[in-house]
Amino acid sequence: MSFTGLRSVVLCLGLLALPALAADKSTAPYLHATEGRAVERKPTLLQMLVAALKPKSVHAAETAHRPRVRHVATAARKRKASPAAAAMEPAVAPPTTVGAAATPPAPLSEADPAAKGLALFNDVSLSDGGKASCATCHFSTGHTNNKTYVGLDVVADGDPNGRNTPTLWGVGERSVFGWAGQAATLEDSIRGIIVNRMKGPEPSKEKLAALVAYVRTLNYPANWQVKDDGTPRDDASAAVKRGYELYIGDGGCGTCHVLPSFDKKSRDDIGTGGKFKVPTLHAVASTAPYFHDGRTASLRDAVKLMWEVYAKKMDSRLPTDAELDDLTAYVGAL
């Protein structure tokens, strides 16, 4: 029997069974209006039979068998990327924060004199026999390696002939250069280190200019407790604020370490073996050991020694332990 004939037979049987099937129910819901509101009602078996025999369009058949696809945005949120897919995606570097003194403030192009200076700063050919570069004692960042030297030899801290390596952060703001204050300009200071300390060949004017350009890019780290003029910020700790009052008052520190540079041009004899330049106190918490020969490892001991020197000179009082703690807190925050 053909499909058309079978369809006719089934339709006739359905019509003959209409009275018995009128009250039958199925599971497919639909809505109709009753008293102005939507009420759920289910189709009869006859309605389902007629709907089943009705030919479906090609479009409807394809839709019925088409796999369900989520919205792209929803799928992206819920789908976990496979390792292979993740490897194909471009890597995104995590945000980093670099201190102002750790690297130059901006990338250096090859044409920038400071970039040439950075290369020279790490160049051992500036020394006799290629033994050392500027970065040997100051790292590439210009900060101190916290060692004491005689020439290029590391000696024990406190050696009377030794010279403690200072930081080059903020070196462009200094008044004079070198522990003895012998260099009036940054160019003279760098030349003297190369020729006298490193025993290297006489540097050209171009090399000196490049080195000066680089070290002038080395700034102090940002300070959250002390303003640029040296005064405490409003949100600085109570100890730092008390220490500041002692610094400019009874401690006498400000008479030599003058704000805002925290150094001065003259040399002073504080009883450590001669006259030496007053060093800057910026970033002093990370420059131990202290004094020209590195004789003091502790910042608090260095602060105590200097208050005692001032008290003896001015015939004034000595600090209490609590005052030493506060003054050290302020100096350490610079």
Model confidence pLDDT, tens digit, residues 206-233? 999 999 999 999 998 888 999 999 999 9
Q: Which CATH number fits domain 100-220: 3.40.50.300, 3.30.300.130, 1.10.760.10, 1.10.3720.10?
A: 1.10.760.10
Tokens of 105: 């403030």
Residues 6+ apart with CB under 8 A from 263: 174, 175, 257, 277, 278, 279, 280, 281
Q: How far apart are CA 42 and CA 25, in angstroms?
A: 6
**Mean pLDDT along residues 292-318:** 95
Does residue 18 sit in helix, strand or coil?
Answer: helix
The partner residues of 232 in beta bridges, in order of sequence, read 226
In terms of pLDDT, which residue wins out, 137 or 34? 137
Q: pLDDT band for 111, please (50, 70, 90 cuts).
A: low
Q: Pick the most confident of 23-32, 90-99, 195-204.
A: 195-204
The pLDDT value given to residue 186: 94
**Residue extent(s) of CATH 1.10.760.10 domains in the chain:** 100-220, 223-334
Say if residue 288's pLDDT is above 80. Answer: yes
pTM, full prediction: 0.65
Minimal CA–CA distance to 134: which of 217, 219, 212?
A: 212
- The owner of tokens 């479009």 is 59
In the prediction, which pLDDT does 221 show?
87
According to DSSP, the residues that pair with 154 across neighbouring strands are 149
Least confident of 62-71, 207-216, 263-272, 314-323: 62-71
Q: Cα–Cα distances in Å, from 256 out to 149, 154, 181, 220, 265?
A: 25, 29, 14, 20, 9
Condensed to tens digits (0 to 9), the pLDDT of residues 63-107 reads: 333 333 333 333 333 333 333 343 333 333 333 222 333 344 456
Which pLDDT belongs to residue 222?
Answer: 85
* Helices marked H in 70-155: 72-78, 83-88, 113-121, 134-138
Q: What is the pLDDT of residue 153?
A: 94
State percent of the chain over pLDDT 70. 67
**Which range among 96-110, 141-155, 243-257 shows the weakest confidence by mean pLDDT?**
96-110
Q: Tokens 């800057």 label which residue?
A: 280
Peptide bond into 55 cis (omega under 30): no
Enter the tokens of residue 262: 């925290």
The residue among 58 and 134 whose pLDDT is bigger is 134
One-letter-per-residue 3-state SS of 258-293: ECCCCECCCEEECCCCCEEECCCCCCHHHCCCECCC
Statement: 223-334 belongs to CATH 1.10.760.10: yes
Residue 183 CA to its chain's centroid (Å): 35
What string of DSSP letters covers 194-233?
A: IIIIS--PPPPHHHHHHHHHHHTT-PPPP-SSB-TTSPBP
pLDDT in tens, 165-183: 999 999 988 878 989 888 9
Instruction: Tell me the sheet residues that pair with 39.
Output: 32
